Chains A and B, each alone.
Chain A
Amino acid sequence: MVTFIQFVITGLRLGSVYALIALGYTMVYGIIKLINFAHGDFIMVGGYSLFFLIPVFMGLGLPGWLAVVPACIICACVGMLVELLAYRPVRKKGNKLTSLITAIAMSFVLENLAQAIPAIGPDPKIPYTLFSATLSIGGVAVSSATIITIVVSAVIMVALYFFTQKSRIGRAMRCVSEDKEAAILMGVNVNHTIIITFGIGAGLAAVAALMYIAQYPKVFTTMGATLGIYAFVAAVLGGIGSLPGAMLGGLLIGMVQSLTNTYISSSMSDTFVYLVLIVVLLIRPAGVLGKNVGEKV
């Protein structure tokens, strides 16, 4: 029973980090129909921003987690820059395939650029540990980082859902993702909306980075690659383009991973995650909550 509770809690914790990252993927995909492979690397940018900013905030006498605010802003700026410099010119000229290849290339640029910066370098760094207290729930030791991760992601997801449903910008986003041409005719500034989407998605990546380093206190330049791929799998699993789908997919992937780690073998968790993805895509090609839209001729 204790193992089972442990497995559920680990699954929820992993899953909520994946869900936060998957939200960024799914928002960008919904609006420009592009898999933003560089999204994983926004987490890396967030991780390093936190690594440098937390000591500064502690030195000023502020709580360390407040550093997530400037980290969010840095991440959002990087996300907007990537959109402006790489994705927008390619979107104007090429087709879907070329955009996808650009996204992959952009991810490599970010990873390797970070390594080339002397202050970062290729070696992993250990950031300051936040939320290190542990609690006991039903005989199982749970770190406060776990609880904060689960609660904060739940709050953000609900807030984001209402943001996209009710606010003006959120409505514009849904508008653009439904029909770009019609949105232009209705007076929505499409390019602004796309940029804001990138900003929000990348900002969420910084929050995810905070949650991640609270659990695994280590930052390195390729940390985003694996995390990003899992989150992406989560987004696809839930139905890419759908916010509740991303949350569901994230939790599902977290559970599968934690299940494999607990009961089978940690080295096989990749295989099971992808097997679940493949099986789901074969049964429902648009994901669990995705809508299957037919192609117009």
Chain B
Amino acid sequence: MKKNGIGRRYLINFIATAVFFILALVVCGNGGSRMKLSVVPSIWQCCYLIIMAASLNLVLGFLGQLSLGHCGFMAVGAYSAALISLAFQRAGFYEEKSGVAFLLVLLLSIVAAGVLAALLGVLVGIPALRLKGDYLAIITLGFGMIIVNVINNIPFCGQQGLGQGSASSALYATGLGFSNDEKVQYLWVALLTVILCLSLMFMFVRSKYGRAIRSIRDNEIASESSGVNVNYYKVLTFTVSAFFAGVTGALYACSNAALATTSFAFTNGSILNSVFIVVMVVVGGMGFLTGSVIAAVVLFLLNYTIKNGAWVAALPAFLQNVFTYPMLVYSIALIIVIVFRPKGIMGSSEFALCDIPKWKGWLQQYFASRKAGKEELRHE
């Protein structure tokens, strides 16, 4: 009976995802110029933010370790995807960004980006994860900075790429870098990558590995004495997380014409930096993958409307001044969330499509329990 229930859940989720996928493609493929100019590029951005937030959630939410250099792995992914595809393009393997040859290169560069980032994740993880808590945070911060600093100083990754031109913080030539038309054409690649990555992450955290990882988060000493190989699982999670960050990097390389290392720094003016990804994970809920997805989309939209929206202009001058520095708003929001809901807005309860009919009951139960709690207080 129980098994059937799980089968039904998978079926419902699969159908819902497939419907969403096809619907998104049909709507975006047939939209007007506004769709092409602003909506589809935004979806691309959302795609990489979603995978990024979810992959950091593996380390921060499920393993309980703060990593501040997550964008470093994304940088490795982005640069390797851009350079690999560029090498194929220079070798004459493909001319136009279409056809089977290009698809193969695209697939190869996405996978290679993930694998290279994962390799680096192992290299970083083995020494770094010997440390805990604050020390781990600072050492990952250091690694993130070293990665950026090294990329800045290698001529191979600067200017025209593959050794053409000197070392610089920007790479102008990439083999990917889609135009708006190509973004519409290859939207399915981005969506499919997101769906695949999220499914893999869900399967990972629900497997026996996921259980071991959560036990480490809850009590490291207890899980070690119950026979969980703590170091192995820590490095494993770090590696898996780095793999997905690398894949994200490949998507980033696809949606940007040029790469610059400043976009992968610890902090910067834009939405893409290691701190902001932490904000997403915390706001969405630590140890709650769907929360990360929702938080990534919501915060992206918030950022987008703060920058382009008309409602900001309607605010009084003082508030407008505050919104010129969106990071201020986000960080105050982060503090408020942490003070009132230390586990994130939605906590760690996972969301499931099958449970929607039960929501009404849950809400009633919740309010009833709150009422009871208040009554009890009054009686005391």
A residues in contact (CB < 8 Å) with B: 29, 33-35, 86, 89-90, 93-98, 100-102, 104-106, 108-109, 111-113, 115-116, 118, 225, 229, 232-233, 236, 240, 265, 267-268, 270-271, 274-275, 277-278, 281-282, 285, 295, 297
Chain B neighbourhood of A236, CB < 8 A: 135, 138
B332 touches A98 (CB 8 A): no
In the docked arrangement, what's the CA distance between A278 and B141, Å? 11
B104 at the interface (CB under 8 A from A): no
Once the chains bind, are B331 and A105 in contact (CB under 8 Å)? yes
Given known pairs A104-B278, A268-B153, A274-B146, the reply for A93 and B339 (CB within 8 Å) is yes
B342:A116 contact, CB within 8 angstroms: no
A105, B338: Cβ atoms closer than 8 Å: yes
Give the interface SS of chain B, mostly helix, strand, loop or mixed.
helix
Chain B nearest CB, measured from A103 CB (Å)? 10
Taking the closest CB of chain B, its distance from the CB of A173, in whole angstroms, is 19
Name the CB-closest residue of B to A265.
B153
Q: What are some 10 contacts across the A-B interface (CB < 8 A)?
A: A105-B279, A105-B335, A112-B327, A113-B328, A233-B142, A268-B149, A271-B150, A277-B139, A278-B127, A297-B221
Within 8 A of A (CB), among B124-151: 127-128, 130-131, 133-135, 137-139, 141-143, 145-146, 149-150
- The number of inter-chain residue pairs (CB within 8 angstroms) is 120
Contact B331 A106 (CB under 8 A): yes
Residue in B closest to A86 when the chains form the complex, CB atoms: B335
A118 to B331, CA, bound (A): 20
The A interface is mostly helix, strand or loop, or mixed, namely: helix
Assign chain B's interface to a size class: 35 or more
Is A101 a contact of B334 with CB atoms below 8 Å?
yes
B339 touches which one: A89, A112, A271 (CB < 8 A)?
Answer: A89
In Å, the complex CA distance between A271 and B139 comes to 12
C-alpha spacing A247/B278, complex, angstroms: 32
B348 at the interface (CB under 8 A from A): no
Q: Which residues of A lie under 8 Å from residue B332 when comparing CB positions? A: 105, 109
Q: Which residues of B contact A96 (CB under 8 A)?
A: 133-134
Give which listed residue, B139, B146, B331, B342, contacts A109 with CB less than 8 A: B331
Interface residues of B in 79-127 (CB under 8 A from A): 127
Closest 10 CB pairs of A and B: A112-B328, A274-B142, A94-B342, A108-B331, A112-B325, A105-B331, A105-B334, A271-B149, A270-B149, A98-B342
Residue of B nearest to A274 (CB): B142
Q: A109-B328, A112-B331 are in contact. List 9 more A-B contacts (CB 8 A).
A: A90-B342, A94-B338, A101-B278, A233-B138, A268-B149, A278-B143, A282-B130, A285-B130, A285-B135
In the bound assembly, the distance between CA atoms of A112 and B269 in angstroms comes to 10
Looking at A108, A232, A268, A271, the one whose CB has the most chain B CB atoms below 10 A away is: A108
By beta carbon, the residue of chain B nearest A33 is B134
- Indicate which residue in A35, A98, A102 contacts B134 across the interface (CB closer than 8 Å): A35
Contacts of A285 in B (CB 8 A): 130-131, 135
Shortest distance from the beta carbon of A120 to any chain B beta carbon, whole Å: 12
Would A267 and B335 be within 8 Å (CB), given that A97-B64, A278-B139, A285-B131 are in contact? no
| A116/B322 contact (C-beta < 8 A), A108-B328, A274-B143 known | yes
Cβ contact of A108, chosen from B138, B149, B267, cutoff 8 A:
B267
Question: Of A33, A101, A268, which is within 8 A of B338 by CB?
Answer: A101
B residues 52-92 in Cβ contact with A at 8 Å = 60, 64, 66, 68
Q: A102 — which chain B residues lie within 8 A by C-beta?
A: 334-335, 338-339
Please report the C-alpha to C-alpha distance between residue A271 and residue B342 in the assembled complex, in whole angstroms.
34
B275 close to A (CB within 8 Å):
yes
Complex alpha-carbon distance, A150 and B30, angstroms: 68
The answer to whether the Cβ of B152 comes within 8 Å of any Cβ in the partner chain is: yes
Closest chain B residue to A29, Cβ basis? B134
